[in-house]
Structure formats: C-alpha cells, structure tokens
Amino acid sequence: MRKRTVLCVSPITLCQQFEGAYYEDGKGMSIWDVQANNPGLLPEGDRIHDNHTGNVANDFYHRYKEDILLAKELGATQFRFSISWARIFPNGDGSINQVGLKHYVDMVDFILSIGMEPVVTLYHWDLPQALQERIGGWNSEQVAPVFAAYAATMFEALGDKVTYWSTINEPKTFCWEGYGNGGHAPNIHSHEQAANCTINVLRAHAAAVKEFRKLVPGGFVSMNINVETSLPYDSTSELDTAAAQRKMDFEVGVYMDPIFFGQFPDSVRARLPYLPDITPKLADALKGSMDYIAMNHYTSSYALCIEHVSDYDVPDNHVNKNGFVIGKQGDSGWLYSFPLGFRMALNYMNDRYKTDFISVTENGFMVKGEDDMTMDEILNDKARIEYFEEYIKNAIAAVVPIRSYFAWALMDNFEWKDGYSKHFGVMYWDRFTQVRIKKASARWMQNKFLDAPGN
C-alpha cells in the first residue's frame, strides 16, 4: 500500500473543553457540568483545579466561525470537533433539541463553505447527566442503544456532509478515571464499574456503526484510541518486556482486539476476572466496525514488572534501569517528549491491526511552567515547536499509511480536572477577555504548512 506523507497540521477543538454555553439554547447538563459546578459534593482530590468550570470556556459555541478561520489561517485543511450529546438530547434520549442540532449543521456548513473538511467525534466524555442518574451511565448495558439512537440522529443530519467520523474518544480514560479511580466525571471509584464501562463502550460502538452503515454508506468510521508507547524498564528482562506488552494490552488491546480479533487480550482477561465476556454476538457486531485507525498519542513510558500493584494496569516509569530519562518533561507528571515513541506507536498499530490508513487525531505538548511565565515567554514556546518538529519527523519516518494529523490544540482551553492551569494551545487564550494570540508554534505551523502541497 502506498504510504501517505503527512502534509499538514490541523489544530482541533472539542466541545466540553472549548464550547461553553453549557446551559444555553436548550442544552442539558453533562456529567462534567455537574462536577465543575458542584465541587463541594466531591472529595478534595477529585475536584477541578481552583474550582474552574467549562461554563464559558473558549466560547466556541458563539465564536466558532472566527476560530475555524484561525485554524484555516494556520494551514489546516480539516477541522475536527466533537458534538455535545446533551445539546442534541438534553435528557440523553427522547425529544431532539432542534436548536442544538441546527448549531452543528450550521457549523459543518461553514467549515465546508471555506474549503475545509469536517471530522466529527460523537462522544468526548460529556455524558448527559440525566443518563448517569437514570441508568448509571456507562456502567449500564442500556447505554448502548441510547448512544446508537443519538448517533443515528447525527448521521441523518450530517451524513451527506461529513465523511470521517469517530464514535468515542479515548474510552480507557473516561472508563478508568471516571468509573474506576475517580477524579474524572462521574467520579466513581469502582474497578467493576470501569470494566462494565469498557464492554459497554464496545457495545455502543458496534450499535452506532450498525446505524452508520445504513445512513452514511460512503463514509469512514473509527474510535479514537489513546496509544502510549510502553518500553521495558530493563530491556534485558523478560518480565519487564512482558509488562510493556501488558501495558499496551490494557491501553490499546482492550478496545482494539475485540474489534479486530473478537476477544480481549489474554493478559487483560487474566487480571480482570470481573470483565464481562465478549459474546459471539458482540464479536460478530464488532467485526468490521473500524474503517481506519484513529489514534491519539502524546507520550511514552517504561514498564517495570511489579506484581499485584494493580489489577488493571502497569504503573508508569519515566526513568529506566540505566537512569535514562525518557525525554523532556512537559507540564505534567505523565507527559514526556519521546519522539521515537510516536514512530513506534504508529508502527505497532499498523502492524497489529492493519487497516487501510491511520489518522493521528491528537498529538501535543504542554510547555513546563507555562502558567507562571511572562507573556513574552508564553508566546515564545520553543519547546512546543521542538516537540511538533520531532514528532512529525518520526510520523513521516514510520512506514505506515497516514492520512491526517491533528495537533492538540488550537488554543489553550479547559483541560478537565486541571481546569485552566495547563496549556496545550498553539494560541494563547485569556479566559477573562477571550483574546486569542498566536504563539510561536502557531506561526511555525502557518509558515510550514500553509503553502504545503495539497493545501
């Protein structure tokens, strides 16, 4: 198969983190709206930084035209965004909020009118609160047909306008941080519920894709999987090598293997006795439900075999046996720049799952200490440019068919539990004034990609 070279970076926005207008025009409350606006109901460790909320965020709901034009100005040819389920179905199901639906139809029409291509994600963590209260959210098998009905509504509204779709973004994160460990909405601490969430995500994906095949026959659909490359802490240790693979199984295989092979990885089954089985009926429904690989990648880590540390995961290490730090640390304990890990992740996904093409749907870096910098220092974000340069080089060097690459993110935004204290944006954004200012990384993108072949 001919390899597709990466030609452009498309900075992206996603709804809960950018959209704001959290209770306008008939929108219902999401689980993240509830978490942000009721901090007193949560343990201290589960609260959002400084009690920040996404109520206004980047005001993308009202400013989407100017922000999409900013992305185009930087050389983007595609614009990826997610839809707020609670804006379409305030109660999760039932009556459609026509004002909310029209908003996304109008936005897609605008994207197309300026010569860009829309790329749509149906679910990015913001479950309607009504579904959490009524059925238990992703812990319940009932969520699958409800999600499929919501998906069908969007396919009917946008299927003749949008070619590339994703059902669900980073299920491992919202299943295990939302239902397993707390900290993310809906702040439940139960590994059994996280396991239920895992299989219900697969059920919902399969049910939605069934609708997709009927309603968008010429389209492509996937699920956004977070891929963190895992290397052995001691490269000579068979136990650490096995732990590194086990980390990939829990990060990637728990969702991808059922779709491509009809079953969970053996290492996952062995450590999650409460994980429901993939039935033959579900395996059959999942088969062929992913037209391309949509992968998010930020960082890599070392895996050290420590038995019984956790029943579902392998702890991260960023220094190996020889004292080698895996890369430059970003503004978080989990984020380190290791460009070779990107190439390894791309090759791993291509070699193991072998779909027609890969879309890199998120990749980005938080500059360490940016929240405490002067404005001049913030705008001169050389570390972010270095990250993008090296990661894109490694993407091009990977022998895989890459069709698109999306940088996270267009501008600073609401970073979930971190609120507004962490910054991935290539554009500075002031949450009090709504000013947007290009950082050096945005200008780098503009210079590098605006006049690239294919733009």
3-state secondary structure of 120: strand
What is the reported pLDDT for 343?
97
Partner residues linked to 128 by β-bridges? 30
- Cα–Cα distance measured from residue 390 to residue 395, given in angstroms and rounded to the nearest whole number: 9
The pLDDT score that the predictor gives to residue 27 is 98
Rounded CA separation 64/20 (Å): 11
In whole angstroms, give the CA distance from residue 128 to residue 120: 18
Average pLDDT over residues 12-17: 76
**For residue 6, what pLDDT band results from cuts at 50, 70 and 90?**
very low
> Alpha-carbon dihedral of residues 244, 248, 253, 255, nearest 10 degrees?
150
| Chain segment 77-90, per-residue pLDDT in tens | 999 999 999 999 99
Give per-residue pLDDT as tens, 342-386: 999 999 999 999 989 999 999 999 999 999 999 999 999 999 999
Tokens, residue 434: 């709504």
Tens digits of residue pLDDT in 162-199: 999 999 999 999 999 999 998 999 999 999 999 999 99
Q: Classify strands 293-296 and 358-362 as parallel, antiparallel or unpaired.
A: parallel
pLDDT above 50: residue 5: no
245-258 b/e (C-beta count within 10 Å ≥ 16 → b) = bbbbbbbbbbbbbb
Residues 6+ apart with CB under 8 A from 53: 22, 33, 36, 37, 414
Answer yes or no: are the C-beta atoms of 15 and 126 closer than 8 Å: yes
Instruction: Label residue 11 by pLDDT band (50, 70, 90).
Output: low
CATH 3.40.640.10 fits 10-449, yes or no: no
What are the residues facing 226 on neighbouring strands? 296
Q: Find the angle CA(239)-CA(241)-CA(247) to the nearest 5 degrees.
A: 100
Q: Which of 19, 117, 170, 228 is catalytic?
A: 170
Distance between CA atoms of 209 and 217, rounded to whole angstroms? 11
Give the position of tokens 């009202």: 62
Strand 164-169 relative to strand 117-123: parallel, antiparallel, unpaired?
parallel
pLDDT digits (tens, 9 = 90+) for 127-172: 999 999 999 999 999 999 999 999 999 999 999 999 999 999 999 9
CB 6 within 8 A of CB 392: yes
pLDDT recorded at residue 45: 85
282-295: pLDDT as tens digits: 999 999 999 999 99
Sign of the CA dihedral with 131 first, then 175, 420, and 166 last: negative
Length of the chain: 455
Give the sign of the dihedral formed by CA 411, CA 414, CA 417, CA 420: positive
> Tokens 């926005």 sit at which residue?
13
Given 177, 362, 370, 415, the catalytic residue = 362
pLDDT band at residue 34 using 50, 70 and 90 as cut-offs: very high
pLDDT of 453 higher than 60: no
User: Residue 452 pLDDT more than 60?
Assistant: no
Q: Which DSSP letter does residue 177 get? A: I
pLDDT value for 254: 97
Residue 170 a catalytic site member:
yes
Name the percent of the chain lying above pLDDT 90. 88
Cα distances (Å, whole numbers) of residue 428 to 58, 318, 324, 379:
11, 29, 33, 7
Res. 124: pLDDT tops 80: yes
Write down the mean pLDDT value for the chain: 93
Give the mean pLDDT of 102-120. Answer: 97
User: Residue 285 belongs to what H/E stretch?
Assistant: helix 280-286
* Residue 8's pLDDT band (cuts 50, 70, 90): very low
Structure-token pair, residue 21:
């207008």
pLDDT score, position 12: 66
Q: Which H or E run contains 405?
A: strand 402-407
Encode pLDDT of 206-247 as tens digits.
999 999 999 999 999 999 999 999 999 999 999 999 999 999
Known active-site residue 389 = no
Which tokens is 46 given?
């589960």
Average pLDDT for residues 435-446, to the nearest whole number?
A: 96
Nearest to 180 by CA among 290, 254, 102, 92: 254
- Report how far residue 78's alpha carbon sits from residue 76's, in angstroms, rounded to the nearest whole number: 6
Q: Which pLDDT band holds residue 311 (cuts at 50, 70, 90)?
A: low
Beta bridge partners of 117: 78
Global pTM value = 0.96
What is the predicted pLDDT for the residue at 265? Answer: 97
Lowest-confidence segment of 18-27, 300-309, 410-419 by average pLDDT: 300-309
Query: For residue 438, is pLDDT > 50?
Result: yes
Q: Which two tokens stand for residue 244?
A: 């590194």
Q: Place 450 in a pLDDT band, splitting at 50, 70 and 90.
A: low
Under DSSP, the state recorded for 56 is: S
Q: How far is CA 286 from CA 219, 221, 289, 426, in A?
A: 17, 12, 5, 37
* In the chain, % of residues over pLDDT 70: 94
- What phi and psi, each to the nearest 5 degrees, are found at residue 424? -105, -10
Owner of token pair 């922000």: 67
